[in-house]
């Protein structure tokens, strides 16, 4: 008699209570937290260096961000920690004004994020096209891979076989067993081999000094004046926008990956709360990390807030309580993990020649623009903004060419009727005024708009210009066929836009 395992819905997979009641699910969440914590350590240290602060500032930020967002965030299993994008934003502030101003800016950024989340900024995600999302993911894969290159250049030759062995373990072990995450096995085995054999290869300890004490509560030592606000506000607002954009894009990616829905507004507010908490414990701030999220969700199979919470807890335990052991982990092991993350992150289907031939050129252009800007600037937010703007411009250009003016009837010798077809807005209505025969048309002209729609003031201004040109030659124009919204817009604006509009 055969039996089948019960089907667990994606939503139930996200339940913390369900995971706590299932030893198998709980083990997956716990081990995922360990792997993510190990992967966070070198990243947090390197981002601290970029920002110009002590490694402890980045490590404590990763701990407080992960633990806080696990509680208040809107996307289960997503990892938030110190990130490169935030480090790039705050580096000039640290250089010019020091750590206290950075912490004040982080807390103000959190306030901005809570406000932006509260007013519904997350709803703007609906305007991000699929091609931008694809470019975002592909650019991220490239950035994750290129971030590993410094650990592969000018290093002892032993690093290369160690990375290769790590990749083989990560690829091959899941075919034998899924009991433990393959990246964790690779890290443990390569670390053990390094210690037992006394191999001299770069390790985590070489990246920077690990903290030996717990983070402490503090208030930034800055004057509470208008001048201070003018100094930190630009950095705080930029940090808030960059952090929200990366977090919401990452949440959308995880939604698609897990076939579940997340609360983007709650995630936005949660990012703000997490940054405020991070600032209060001396951290450098952060946002969602798609690389570590990929390790957690795709590689390790985590689905709940447990893994996110434990990633932060394990990170603190590892760097404070087991710092001497963690420092011995060879960077080759973590490089192998991140290389496989980049391979898994890349949307290989999107760059398949067959796909590229089938895909409209505009879609491919948007994807490539997103990738190019992101890789060039090392800032995912810039890439997404450029991708969205490119998509909008190409869409407007494409729709603008779908407007047509045709002559449809001569009711009598003194009347000519035109039909305007298509969507009329600033890009498509600019040439509308040149498509009528003002000199040779009879005394009465009828413009039928039943197959078109007026979207903006530019179109009303164009229709006014047409009417004016005919009137200058003693001819009358009648506009018919407007739908309700177009008629209302035309009635409200016609004759009130001025000659320069």
pLDDT in tens, 344-364: 878 899 999 999 898 889 999
CB 140 within 8 A of CB 254: no
Strand partners, 453: 423
DSSP 330: B
Share of residues in the chain with pLDDT > 70 (%): 97
Please state the φ and ψ torsions of residue 452, each to the nearest 5 degrees.
-140, 175
How many Å apart are CA 368 and CA 131, to the nearest integer? 9
Angle at 387 between CA 385 and CA 390, to 5 degrees: 110
How many Å apart are CA 105 and CA 92, to the nearest integer? 12
How many Å apart are CA 158 and CA 155, to the nearest integer? 8
The mean-pLDDT minimum among 63-72, 192-201, 214-223, 403-412 falls in 403-412
Cα Rg, the chain, nearest whole Å: 29
**13-50: pLDDT as tens digits:** 788 898 899 999 999 999 999 999 988 888 888 788 77
Among left, alpha and beta (phi > 0; psi -120 to 50; other), residue 208 is left
How many Å apart are CA 239 and CA 116, to the nearest integer? 12
In Å, how far are 97, 112, 135, 285 from 288, measured between CA atoms?
Answer: 26, 16, 18, 11
Q: What pLDDT score was predicted for residue 305?
A: 95
DSSP 319: I
C-beta atoms surrounding 140 within 10 Å? 27
**How would you list the strands of the sheet with 404-412, edge to edge?**
404-412, 415-424, 444-454, 476-480
Q: With 50 as the cut, is the pLDDT of residue 200 above it?
A: yes
Q: What pLDDT score was predicted for residue 1?
A: 43
The mean-pLDDT minimum among 288-292, 465-469, 473-477 falls in 288-292
């Amino acid at each position: 008699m055969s039996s089948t395992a019960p089907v667990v819905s994606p939503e139930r997979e996200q339940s913390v209570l369900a995971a706590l009641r299932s030893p198998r699910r709980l083990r997956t969440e716990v081990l995922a937290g360990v792997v993510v914590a190990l992967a966070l350590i070198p990243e947090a240290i390197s981002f601290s260096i970029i920002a110009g602060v002590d490694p402890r500032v980045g490590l404590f930020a990763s701990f407080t961000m992960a633990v806080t967002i696990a509680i208040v965030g809107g996307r289960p299993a997503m990892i938030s920690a110190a990130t490169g994008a935030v480090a790039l934003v705050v580096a000039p502030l640290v250089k010019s004004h020091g750590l206290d101003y950075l912490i004040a800016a982080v807390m103000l950024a959190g306030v901005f994020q809570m406000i932006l989340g509260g007013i519904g900024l997350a709803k703007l995600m609906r305007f991000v096209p699929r091609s931008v999302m694809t470019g975002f993911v592909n650019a991220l894969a490239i950035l994750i891979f290129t971030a590993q290159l410094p650990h592969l250049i000018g290093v002892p030759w032993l690093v290369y076989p160690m990375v290769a062995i790590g990749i083989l373990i990560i690829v091959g072990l899941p075919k034998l067993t899924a009991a433990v995450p393959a990246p964790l096995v690779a890290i443990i085995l390569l670390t053990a081999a390094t210690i037992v054999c006394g191999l001299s290869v770069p390790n985590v300890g070489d990246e920077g000094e690990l903290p030996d004490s717990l983070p402490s509560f503090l208030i930034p030592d800055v004057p509470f004046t208008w001048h201070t606000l003018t100094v930190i506000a630009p950095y705080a607002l930029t940090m808030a926008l960059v952090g929200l954009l990366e977090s919401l894009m990452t949440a959308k990616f995880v939604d698609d990956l897990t076939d579940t829905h997340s609360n983007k507004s709650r995630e936005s507010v949660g990012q703000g709360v997490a940054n405020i908490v991070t600032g209060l414990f001396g951290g450098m701030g952060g946002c969602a990390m798609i690389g570590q999220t990929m390790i957690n969700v795709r590689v390790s199979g985590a689905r709940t807030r447990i893994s996110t919470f434990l990633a932060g807890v394990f990170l603190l335990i590892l760097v404070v309580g087991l710092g001497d052991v963690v420092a011995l982990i060879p960077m080759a092991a973590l490089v192998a993990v991140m290389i496989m993350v980049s391979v898994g992150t890349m949307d290989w289907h999107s760059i398949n020649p067959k796909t590229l031939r089938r895909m409209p050129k505009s879609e491919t252009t948007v994807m490539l623009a997103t990738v190019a800007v992101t890789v060039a600037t090392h800032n995912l937010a810039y890439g997404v903004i450029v991708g969205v703007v490119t998509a909008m411009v190409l869409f407007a250009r494409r729709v603008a060419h779908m407007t047509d003016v045709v002559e449809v009837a001569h009711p009598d010798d003194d009347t000519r009727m035109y039909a305007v077809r298509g969507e009329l807005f600033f890009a498509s209505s600019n040439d509308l005024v040149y498509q009528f025969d003002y000199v040779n048309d009879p005394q009465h002209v009828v413009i039928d708009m039943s197959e078109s729609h007026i979207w903006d003031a530019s179109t009303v201004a164009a229709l006014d210009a047409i009417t004016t040109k005919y009137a200058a030659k003693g001819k009358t124009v009648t506009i018919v066929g407007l739908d309700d919204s177009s008629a209302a817009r035309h009635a409200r604006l016609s004759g009130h836009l001025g000659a320069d509009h």
